[in-house]
């Protein structure tokens, strides 16, 4: 018979997949001898078995929820899902195991579950294999009823504490198990506080708490038909509720957003743990602490402590907690124990630890440890520092930082020289400076984001149910809560700038506005928040682009040691090349020259080239254009001095540079009305006929790329002359330009041979002779047609390098027009899972990827020194980069702002391959 339940001491700390992160962490701490309240873990196997009878129906409803439907539809789907789950029963034999473990727990604690005089109370908590902070449910103080609450008061000699615990249990049980809207409990609390003149719950007297308990029971009677007094019934229903929380909308949304697949985390475990109480007075409390600062990465204990409270009070942000240093002042010896054990856990787990703890009448207890969610800055700094301290190897440090994290390090910061006075200040919970329109409800954030608007979600405090709004917003602002509140933890985890605990802000949800120091900010108004300083500004404040340095430079230097793939940049302008070089690009993998033609005087000359009716006319216009653009090449080659620059010869369909026929017709009409001369009208008529003749039914598959070079060799002659003349002039100045000329849209080997012999090589000889020097250049092709990949062995006879243009190759392979499919049917394909991912974002390994693999293998078989790279957008996608590493490419080329991502992703790919071979 399958075993579903493990005591903390017998569970395997390394088996998170079975015990969940929380259960594994508790087993680790219990085995290490830390003061952990005793308990047991119900495995993820039990959770999967719980859902199995109606798995197909549940999965179908979850798929629909994953599409993020409108609120009304979402609510109906949730109702259906809940009604199905309510029919499910716990796996056979599970409660028998639970009862056996509860007996052992009674013996360990010297208390009895459900006893009137000496009751044992437990917490029931979720724990997925992958950390999902705040996404699932927890129930505290389970086992209380009208009789055991009296026993608890007698047991602790503290009636106030007993009824405070009871009201907490009633509200959690009502909300989580019975599905009652927590607003009803909040409203009852506010009424009691108002009646007794209390500002916070800790000021409520025992009489007030007893009255509150009765109010809560009335709510439960009205909404759910009554509260179960039987503790065993409470426990069974709580376990079911925690299993059910695996399928709540916020947990589903979190798994989608963080790409947590069923293979990684298929269900949640449940921990049942003996209660320890932080709400027994001012010598008690609860807290969350990190072994290092999760905001900036400094090696200092970081966290918060709330006296006379239970754990949910801290993470919910209902009361603003004290800094952890206050714990040091109150309980210095306890603080030292906490610090010592934190650092021990950090060394064991080889990562910064996020620890929940409770102090009960001066005694410390550990309730949870897990790897901390932290800001990108902290993630990088802690990885590097821990390697320097010997906790991690350099390889392990590199693997600790996900490639996407470095993108978030490039968040802008406030330009202090142009910043106005802030209207408010809170806690800098997650870095980055962003501006956006104010919204007050997470659903509104989602809707406005769909409209393409940048929004900042403003809340008094956030709750787990707000998580969809977090992902839609560019930043989060709350008026309550601390650095370990829900808002702070989730914002750091997903890399969104956040300011929390800005207490001067008064939020009015009904009127959709907030007031601060006499200033009224309404929904739709623009504000700027600075997650680096905690400042809040009215309006959009100018920002600055950060530079790369410090620990990030060190980490990337380590990454560069481990990676095999080179990393180059795609560029249009000199500014792109400057950024690319600053970010560590090893060259330009794709220089698009089309932007050079966009200046009006250049565009006019290019149009002469396109519209020319003779070779001589075209050559003269091309010589003029070459002189115009030579300086652009020279500037970029100089920026990238000593590094290769691949220049793609003209690629787009020629019609893109011409006026549209309908525009010319309009001009003719207007010229006639204006009484234009016959010569002017004849000129326009001639232009209209020429442009109409050049119009193509399918220009993206027509007269473009190498086909222009074959039919109009003068174009390639002029471009080659501009490129190589720029290189020659720099070489004469003592520079070292390394030029690679790339021919696009090749499908037939003879196309390359023709343009090399008729245009590129003769021009190169002419330039070398003119300047009296020998140039360092290569000639290669952009592999972006299916046929080119299949005949790569023949093409390699004429090409010194291949660069896969995976954007066009994806279009050709799927027969998709990207602009059309992304606006029309691709979203539906993704929704129906006909396609799992957008093939223009992540390489299609089975189709496009196979062509890349074939092209690479066949090309290198012909020419073993063939240089092979990729210059499509996939060059900046970590998953695609791993594939290109496996396919044997020599480099990837990405947009300048993804260079850092590519460097790190290439290192990850190499390290993973090495580890796999080693195992």
Instruction: Tell me the pLDDT tens digit for each residue of 240-279.
Output: 999 999 998 888 888 877 778 887 778 999 999 999 988 8
Instruction: State both tokens at 670.
Output: 């207007």
| pLDDT above 60: residue 919 | no
Neighbouring-strand partners of residue 591: 571, 647
> What stretches of 54-181 show up as alpha helix (H) in DSSP?
55-66, 71-85, 94-109, 148-156, 159-172
Q: What is the pLDDT of residue 188?
A: 95
Q: What is the pLDDT of residue 316?
A: 58
Half-sphere exposure of 658 (CA within 13 A, CB side): 25
Look at residues 350, 355, 369 and name the one whose alpha carbon lies nearest to residue 484.
Answer: 355
Answering whether pTM is above 0.85, one says no
Q: At residue 522, what are phi and psi to the nearest 5 degrees?
A: -100, 160
Q: What is the pLDDT of residue 495?
A: 73
Q: What is the pLDDT of residue 388?
A: 97
8 Å CB contact between 478 and 441 = no
pLDDT band at 295 (very low <50, low <70, confident <90, very high): confident
Q: What is the 8-class DSSP label of residue 897?
A: G
Cα torsion angle, 491, 495, 496, 502, sign:
positive
Which stretch of DSSP H or E encloses residue 604? helix 600-611
Helix (H, G, I), strand (E, B), or coil: what is residue 870? strand
- Tokens 């928040």 identify what position? 529
Give the highest mean pLDDT range of 272-281, 342-351, 574-583, 604-613: 342-351
Instruction: State both tokens at 744.
Output: 């696009």
Region of 229 on the Ramachandran plot (φ > 0 left; ψ -120 to 50 alpha; else beta): alpha
The Cβ of residue 413 has, within 10 Å, a number of other Cβ atoms equal to 16
Q: What is the pLDDT of residue 907?
A: 98
Helix (H, G, I), strand (E, B), or coil: what is residue 217? helix
| pLDDT above 70: residue 484 | no
848-862 mean pLDDT: 98
774-781 mean pLDDT: 95
Q: Which range is least confidently modeled, 105-119, 218-232, 662-676?
A: 662-676
644-669 mean pLDDT: 85
What percent of the chain has a predicted confidence (pLDDT) above 90? 67
Neighbouring-strand partners of residue 783: 804
Look at residues 613, 623, 754 and name the one whose alpha carbon lies nearest to residue 694.
Answer: 613
Q: What is the pLDDT of residue 846?
A: 96
Q: What is the 8-class DSSP label of residue 69?
A: -
Q: What is the 8-class DSSP label of residue 532?
A: T
Q: What is the 8-class DSSP label of residue 594?
A: G
The contacts of residue 591 (CB under 8 Å, 6+ apart) are: 571, 572, 636, 645, 646, 647, 648
Active-site residue list? 486, 871
Q: Which residue has the higher pLDDT, 300 or 471?
A: 300
| pLDDT above 90: residue 97 | yes
CA distances in angstroms from 537 to 416, 518, 526, 527, 697, listed in the order given: 12, 14, 9, 6, 52
- State how beta strands 543-544 and 112-113 pair: unpaired
Look at residues 247, 99, 123, 105 and name the one whose alpha carbon lies nearest to residue 173.
Answer: 123
The angle subtended at Cα 120 by Cα 119 and Cα 126, nearest 5°, is 145
Q: What is the pLDDT of residue 319?
A: 66
Q: What is the pLDDT of residue 178?
A: 94
Q: What is the pLDDT of residue 318?
A: 60
Look at residues 99, 38, 43, 50 and name the one whose alpha carbon lies nearest to residue 233.
Answer: 99
Produce one character per residue of 474-493: b if its CB has 16 or more CB atoms within 10 Å, e if not. bbbbbbbbbbbbbbbbbbbb
| pLDDT above 70: residue 108 | yes
Q: What is the pLDDT of residue 315?
A: 58
Look at residues 728, 603, 707, 711 and name the one whose alpha carbon lies nearest to residue 653.
Answer: 707
| pLDDT above 60: residue 873 | yes
The contacts of residue 404 (CB under 8 Å, 6+ apart) are: 495, 878, 901
What is the tens place of the pLDDT at every residue in 452-463? Answer: 999 999 999 887
Q: Which range is least confidently modeled, 61-65, 313-317, 335-339?
A: 313-317
65-92 mean pLDDT: 87
Rounded to a whole number, what is the distance in angstroms from the first to the last CA of the chain? 33
> What's the burial of 96, exposed, middle or buried (CB within 10 Å: 0-12/13-18/19+)?
exposed
Q: What is the pLDDT of residue 260?
A: 85
| pLDDT above 60: residue 94 | yes
pLDDT band at 131 (very low <50, low <70, confident <90, very high): confident
pLDDT band at 793 (very low <50, low <70, confident <90, very high): very high
Q: What is the pLDDT of residue 337?
A: 94
| pLDDT above 80: residue 918 | no
Region of 134 on the Ramachandran plot (φ > 0 left; ψ -120 to 50 alpha; else beta): left
Q: What is the pLDDT of residue 317?
A: 56
The Cβ of residue 604 has, within 10 Å, a number of other Cβ atoms equal to 12
pLDDT band at 676 (very low <50, low <70, confident <90, very high): confident
Instruction: State both tokens at 164.
Output: 């405070």
124-142 mean pLDDT: 90
What is the tens place of the pLDDT at every residue in 57-72? Answer: 998 988 888 777 788 8
The contacts of residue 545 (CB under 8 Å, 6+ apart) are: 410, 412
E strand segments, 291-348: 302-307, 322-323
Q: What is the pLDDT of residue 371?
A: 93
């Amino acid at each position: 018979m399958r075993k579903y339940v493990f005591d903390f001491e017998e569970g395997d700390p390394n088996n998170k997949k079975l015990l969940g992160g929380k259960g594994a962490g508790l087993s680790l701490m219990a085995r290490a001898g830390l003061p952990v309240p005793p308990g047991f873990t119900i495995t993820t196997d039990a959770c999967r078995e719980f859902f199995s009878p109606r798995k197909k129906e549940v999965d179908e409803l979850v798929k629909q929820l994953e599409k993020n439907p409108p609120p009304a539809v979402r609510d109906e789907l949730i109702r259906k899902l809940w009604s199905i789950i309510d029919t499910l029963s716990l796996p056979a034999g599970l409660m028998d195991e639970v009862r056996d473990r509860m007996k052992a727990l009674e013996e360990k604690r010297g208390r009895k579950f459900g006893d009137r005089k000496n009751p044992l109370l437990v917490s029931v908590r979720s724990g997925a294999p992958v950390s999902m902070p705040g996404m699932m449910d927890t129930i505290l103080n389970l086992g209380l009823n009208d009789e055991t609450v009296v026993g608890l008061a007698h047991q602790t000699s503290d009636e106030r504490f007993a009824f405070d615990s009871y009201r907490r249990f009633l509200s959690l049980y009502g909300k989580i198990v019975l599905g009652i809207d927590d607003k009803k409990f909040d409203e009852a609390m506010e009424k009691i506080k108002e009646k007794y003149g209390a500002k916070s719950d800790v000021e409520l007297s025992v009489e007030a708490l007893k009255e509150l308990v009765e109010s809560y029971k009335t709510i439960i009677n009205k909404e759910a038909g009554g509260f179960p007094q039987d503790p065993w019934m409470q426990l069974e229903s709580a376990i079911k509720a925690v299993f059910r929380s695996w399928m709540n909308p916020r947990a589903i949304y979190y798994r989608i957003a963080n790409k947590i697949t069923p293979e990684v985390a298929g269900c949640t475990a449940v921990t049942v743990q003996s209660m320890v109480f932080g709400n027994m007075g001012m010598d008690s409390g609860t807290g969350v602490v990190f072994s290092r600062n999760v905001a900036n990465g400094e090696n200092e204990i970081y966290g918060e402590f709330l006296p006379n409270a239970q754990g949910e009070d801290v993470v919910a942000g209902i009361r603003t907690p004290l800094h952890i240093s206050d714990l040091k002042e109150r309980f210095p010896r306890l603080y030292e124990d906490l610090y010592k054990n934190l650092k021990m856990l950090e060394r064991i787990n080889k990562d910064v630890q996020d620890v929940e703890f409770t102090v009960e009448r001066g005694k410390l207890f550990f309730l949870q440890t897990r790897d901390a969610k932290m800001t990108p800055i902290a993630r990088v700094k802690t990885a590097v520092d821990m390697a320097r301290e010997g906790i991690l190897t350099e390889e392990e440090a590199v693997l600790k930082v996900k490639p996407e994290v470095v993108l978030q390090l490039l968040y802008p910061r406030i330009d202090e020289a142009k910043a106005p006075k802030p209207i408010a200040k809170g806690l800098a919970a997650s870095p980055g400076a962003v501006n956006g329109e104010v919204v007050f409800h997470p659903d509104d954030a989602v809707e406005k984001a769909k409209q393409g608007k940048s929004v900042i979600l403003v809340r008094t405090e956030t709750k787990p149910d707000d998580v969809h709004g977090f992902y839609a917003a560019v930043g989060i602002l709350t008026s309550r809560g601390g650095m370990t509140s829900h808002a702070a933890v989730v914002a750091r985890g997903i890399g969104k700038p956040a300011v929390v605990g800005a207490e001067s802000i008064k939020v009015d949800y009904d009127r959709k506005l907030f007031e601060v120091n006499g200033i009224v900010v309404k929904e739709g108004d623009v504000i700027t928040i600075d997650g680096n300083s905690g400042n809040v500004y009215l309006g959009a404040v100018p920002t600055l682009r950060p530079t790369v340095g410090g620990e990030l430079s060190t980490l990337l230097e380590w990454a560069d040691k481990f990676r095999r793939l080179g990393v180059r940049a795609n560029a249009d302008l000199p500014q792109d090349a400057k950024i690319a070089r600053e970010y560590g690009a090893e060259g330009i993998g794709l220089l698009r020259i089309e932007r050079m033609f966009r200046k009006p005087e250049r565009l006019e000359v290019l149009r002469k080239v396109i519209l020319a009716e003779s070779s001589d006319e075209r050559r003269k216009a091309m010589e003029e254009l070459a002189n115009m653009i030579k300086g652009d090449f020279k500037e970029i080659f100089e920026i990238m001095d000593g590094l290769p620059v691949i220049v793609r010869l003209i690629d787009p369909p020629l019609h893109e540079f011409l006026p549209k026929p309908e525009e010319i017709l309009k001009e003719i009409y207007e010229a006639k009305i204006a009484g234009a001369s016959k010569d002017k009208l004849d000129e326009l008529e001639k232009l209209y006929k020429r442009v109409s003749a050049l119009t193509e039914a399918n220009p993206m598959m027509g007269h473009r790329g190498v086909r222009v070079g074959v039919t109009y060799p003068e174009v390639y002659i002029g471009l080659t002359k501009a490129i190589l003349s720029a290189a020659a002039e720099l070489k004469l100045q003592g520079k070292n330009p390394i030029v690679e000329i790339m021919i696009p849209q090749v499908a037939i080997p003879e196309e390359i041979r023709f343009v090399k012999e008729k245009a590129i090589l003769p021009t190169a000889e002419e330039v070398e002779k003119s300047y009296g020097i020998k140039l360092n250049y290569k000639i290669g092709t952009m592999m972006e047609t299916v046929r080119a990949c299949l005949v790569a062995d023949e093409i390699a006879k004429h090409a010194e390098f291949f660069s896969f243009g995976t954007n066009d190759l994806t279009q050709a392979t799927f027969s998709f027009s990207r602009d059309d499919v992304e606006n029309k049917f691709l979203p539906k394909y993704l929704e129906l899972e006909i396609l799992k991912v957008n093939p223009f974002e992540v390489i299609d390994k089975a189709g496009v990827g196979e062509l890349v693999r074939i092209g690479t293998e066949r090309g290198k078989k012909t020419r073993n020194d063939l240089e092979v790279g990729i210059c499509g957008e996939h060059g900046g996608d970590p998953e695609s980069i791993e594939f290109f590493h496996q396919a044997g490419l020599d480099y990837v080329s990405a947009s300048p702002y993804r260079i850092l991502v590519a460097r790190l992703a290439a290192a990850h790919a190499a390290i993973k391959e090495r580890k796999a071979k080693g195992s």
